[in-house]
Amino acid sequence: MTRIPVAGAWLVTIPIGLLAFFLDLEQITKIISMGNLLMYSFVTGCGIALRLRDADTPLQRSPSELWVWAFLAVAFVAVQSTMKAAPLFIVYPAWAVTLFILWRLHRLPQPNTPGVEEYAMPLVPVLPCLGIIGNYALVGGFDYLTWVYYAIYLKIGLVIYYGYGISHSKLEEAPNVFEGCSAVVEEE
């Protein structure tokens, strides 16, 4: 017996095959590109947020992480308003707030920096934030139909994740690898 989830593989393969049959290949590549760019931006933001956590308790969130998530949201508005030629009374304040948040992120202490023997991204958080802005600029070049398809694709993915993935997760059955960590709340 294999440990491959055959039913799950078919459950994913058939809808993807149908989408590939009915949608234009160029449109599919645009949706995938948009998804990759936005996901990379989110992962880059997570990397910055991890730097702001205490090295001794990396599972506990730092209040400073809110600045990272604010940057992701406000930078998206700033870049998209610039790309779509929004009125200047929207563009200028959006960029001013984005630059203020970037300055604030730069001034925050980073207690969870990599050691000497580990890879360390230079100029954190400035360089990763510039990467996020670049990704947002690339995403801003996609047409309206790609945004609509991506929103549908994202909603379907979230429904599958919350509807099936969480309820069938095996994590509750697994041994608690975080036992003893202060971030884990013990059930009574």
Question: What pLDDT is attached to residue 4?
Answer: 83
Q: Is 102 exposed, middle or buried (0-12, 13-18, 19+ CB in 10 A)?
A: buried
pLDDT at 74 over 50: yes
How far is the C-alpha of 154 from the C-alpha of 160, rounded, in Å? Answer: 10
Average pLDDT over residues 121-142: 94
Query: Alpha-carbon distance 106 to 95, whole Å?
Result: 16
Contact 39, 66 (CB under 8 A): no
First to last CA, the chain: 38
Tally Cβ neighbours within 10 Å of residue 87: 8
Average pLDDT score over residue span 14-18: 88
What pLDDT is attached to residue 121?
A: 82
Whole-structure pTM value: 0.79
CA distance 137 to 158: 25
User: Which tens digit of pLDDT belongs to each residue from 20-48?
Assistant: 888 888 988 999 999 999 999 999 999 99
Residue with tokens 């996609």: 142
Q: Using pLDDT thresholds of 50, 70 and 90, give the confidence band for residue 184.
A: very low
